[in-house]
């Protein structure tokens, strides 16, 4: 009994300075995390109210992008691929995949990869910031708009495939509206990444 009382009266095995240092590190760490979270939401690229082609036809809306993100999350596609380079390494980065496929289509529209003028025009199309903050409208060139339409079909075929040859569950997403919204989400991530609109 006496031994128990003596051990209860003994001081801490760690000096008070160490406890204070740990407390400071924890507080500072949470401050930095909070600051990074604030900057992430403050500096996020805007989702345009509407994305249009050169002639003014609406390709997709803000709601399509938000719904497409929901389709991406609900179907667990972050376990299969990634967006903006964040996600699983098992499948494609859909931001880069969309950008690559769209650029290949656009360069073919302008004369093919052997044409320096087609290359320059494609680079200009994708790197130009065509987002109008006042009207919340993103405008694509005619070739980019057509690339979006074609990629809607590509992603529908990919996600609605009845086999698992692409690593997805068979018939992962079969509704054309959902694959259209998913394509809008991929397109927006590619446009925000390459053009850097704010």
Placement of tokens 């009207």 in the chain: 135
Longest CA span, the chain: 93
Instruction: Supply the pTM of this predicted model.
Output: 0.79
* Domain ranges (residues) in the chain: 2-42, 50-195
pLDDT at residue 90 is higher than 90? no
The CA–CA distances, whole Å, from 53 to 56, 59, 137, 149, 169 equal 5, 7, 10, 11, 34
Q: What is the pLDDT of residue 100?
A: 95
Q: Among positive and negative, which fits the CA dihedral 120, 137, 176, 183?
A: positive
CATH number of 50-195: 1.10.760
**Section 26-39 average pLDDT:** 89
- pLDDT tens-digit readout, 101-132: 999 999 999 999 999 999 999 999 999 989 99
Asked if 71 contacts 175 with a C-beta cutoff of 8 angstroms, the reply is no
Query: By CB neighbour count within 10 A (0-12 exposed, 13-18 middle, 19+ buried), where does 75 fall?
Result: middle
Write down the number of H helices and E strands in the chain: 7, 6
Query: By CB neighbour count within 10 A (0-12 exposed, 13-18 middle, 19+ buried), where does 191 fall?
Result: buried
**Section 147-156 average pLDDT:** 96
Q: What is the pLDDT of residue 39?
A: 79
20: pLDDT confidence band, cut at 50, 70 and 90?
A: confident
Cα atoms in the Cβ-side hemisphere of radius 13 Å centred on 84: 10
Q: What is the pLDDT of residue 194?
A: 84
């Amino acid at each position: 009994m006496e031994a128990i009382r003596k051990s209860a009266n003994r001081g801490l095995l760690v000096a008070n300075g160490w406890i204070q240092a740990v407390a400071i590190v924890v507080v500072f760490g949470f401050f930095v995390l909070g600051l990074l979270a604030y900057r992430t939401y403050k500096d996020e690229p805007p989702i345009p109210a509407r994305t249009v082609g050169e002639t003014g036809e609406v390709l997709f809306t803000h709601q399509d992008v938000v719904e497409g993100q929901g389709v991406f999350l609900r179907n667990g596609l972050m376990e299969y691929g990634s967006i903006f380079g964040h996600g699983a390494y098992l499948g494609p980065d859909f931001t880069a995949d969309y950008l690559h496929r769209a650029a290949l289509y656009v360069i073919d529209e302008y004369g093919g990869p052997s044409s320096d003028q087609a290359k320059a025009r494609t680079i200009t199309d994708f790197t130009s910031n065509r987002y109008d903050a006042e009207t919340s409208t993103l405008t694509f060139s005619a070739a980019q708009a057509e690339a979006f339409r074609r990629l809607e079909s590509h992603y529908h075929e990919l996600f609605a495939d009845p086999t698992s040859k692409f690593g997805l569950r068979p018939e992962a997403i079969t509704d054309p509206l959902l694959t259209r919204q998913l394509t809008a989400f991929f397109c927006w991530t590619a446009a925000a990444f390459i053009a850097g609109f704010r």
